[in-house]
Structures are given as structure tokens and as C-alpha cells.
Amino acid sequence: MDQAKVKMLLESVAAGRVSPDEAVARLRTLPFEDLGFAKVDHHRSLRRGFPETIFCSGKTPEQVAQIVGRMCEHGSNVLGTRCGAETAAAVQAVCPTAVYHETARAITVSVAPVEQMKGYIAVVCAGTSDIPVAEEAVVTCEAMGNTVERVYDVGVAGIHRVLHRVETLQKANAVIVCAGMEGALASVVGGLVDKPVVAVPTSVGYGASFGGIAALLGMLNTCSPGVAVVNIDNGYGAGAYASIINRIANGNAGNQAG
């Protein structure tokens, strides 16, 4: 239940349309609902501006489907990350409107409309191999009410490709950069824009990339100011962070519809 719905419920109680007992029944899962294997935080949108996100990896398809079902019954939109095809099928059996984003390995369910923010977030990736991580960031941003501009396969091995899209990057309210190998693209983009850059090291690369550690260290050591770095392959974290930035740019700090 988001802030607007809580306010409407309290107004209904004040007007006598809803009894105090009925209101208590509707709020009985505050602050969470215990399913035994999971404690579902139905009121996270009141604190964070977006409902709880389900990290599907490590959970059984049945567990994920049950969590999704309970969230939908409470009127929450759903975003699940690291979601395999078997888990997606289990969720769609419970919520037929669920959309599986195969490349991003994410699943979304839209129960309530999300207020669309003005402006856009640019999601950039160095190579085609980085697209799955970039798409996780895209799905996250879109689920949180953001418009996204994709700028893909513009790595530093052919730097003219990213220079060709400079205007798109400069007009964004935030830029997410996903890159593996040595992770240099984040530094390049950081030197081209005056907006926050969220760098995502990916696990793409040969042996000495150490599964993304080389890109992580390269991004952490960037000489470009205004670059923040999330964990390896963490497209979700980058999308959530960029969404907060865009929310502030929209003048809605602390109150994003979800």
C-alpha cells in the first residue's frame, strides 16, 4: 500500500465510509507479512518510493510465485530480478499479466499505474556482451517510472561510436554505463557530461579481467569526477540509483509514485 492509498484509507475512516476495524484489517500486514520462508515488506514504497524488489536467484519458483501473488493482492507493482524461465512461468501461472524480460532476466507485474517522470536516463553499454546487465538496468528504470534511451555497443575500442551519441548523453538526467574488460567507458562518458554517471562493471572479459574485478577497480580509480560505481553486474542497483537521481531532478525527492 503506497502513501496515496494510506491517505485515502484514513480519509475514508474520517468520513465514516470505512470503519476503524476494517481499516485495521487492511493495514494488518504493517510493517510486513510473514510467509514463513519470507517476510514481505508491503509498505516499502512508503519509505523508499518503490515496492520491494524480489531477488529471484536462490528461491524456488514456487516461493517467488507466492511472494508475487501476495504483493499483487496488496496492490503493489512487482519487479523480480535474476529470474529464470522456469520461475517466470510459475509467476505467470499466478499472475497472467506478468511480463518476462528474457535478456534482462527480470519479470514485472503492473498492478497500479506508475507516474512517469520527465526527462530520461541514458543506459550505455560498451559491447553487445554487456547488454544483459544494461537491460536489467533498463527494466528497473522503466518499472520505477523513468523513460530510457539506450546507447549500446559504443565501447572505447571504437570511441567515435560514443562520440556520435554525445548529445543524447548530455541531455539525460543521469547516465548508466555498463562495461567489462578494463571498464574505461565510464571514465570517457564521465568526461563528456555534466550529469551523474553510474558505472556498472560487468563480468565480461578474458582471464585477467578476473570476472569483472579489473573493470570494477578501473571504474573506482576513474579520474572523471561525478562517477559512482555499483557492484559487478548490478544493473538493478544502477537503475534504482539513477531513478532516485531522476526523481530529484523532477523535484519529487522523497515521494515517487510506485
Neighbouring residues of 192: CB distance < 8 A, sequence distance ≥ 6: 162, 166, 169, 170
Rounded mean pLDDT of 94-111?
Answer: 94
Neighbouring residues of 163: CB distance < 8 A, sequence distance ≥ 6: none
The backbone torsions φ and ψ at residue 175, rounded to the nearest 5 degrees and listed phi first, read -130, 130
Distance CA 234, CA 237 (A): 5
Nearest CA to 66 among 87, 94, 89?
94
Q: By three-state DSSP, how is residue 38 classified?
A: coil
> pLDDT for 194-222, tens place per residue?
999 999 999 999 999 999 999 999 999 99
Is the confidence at residue 45, as pLDDT, over 60? yes
Question: 232 and 216 in contact (C-beta within 8 Å)?
Answer: yes
Distance CA 121, CA 245 (A): 9
Among the ranges given (33-42, 150-159, 180-189), the one the predictor scored with the smallest mean pLDDT = 33-42
> pLDDT for 138-165, tens place per residue?
999 999 999 999 999 999 999 999 999 9
Share of the chain above pLDDT 90, in %: 71
Question: Where in the sequence of the chain do the CATH 3.40.50.1970 domains occur?
Answer: 120-249
Rounded mean pLDDT of 47-70?
Answer: 88
CATH number of 120-249: 3.40.50.1970
Is the confidence at residue 253, as pLDDT, over 60? no
Q: Place 171 in a pLDDT band, splitting at 50, 70 and 90.
A: very high
Instruction: Identify residue 249 by its one-letter amino acid code.
Output: A
Q: Place 26 in a pLDDT band, splitting at 50, 70 and 90.
A: low
The count of residues in the chain is 258
Q: What is the dihedral of CA 81, 170, 154, 204, to 10 degrees?
A: -40
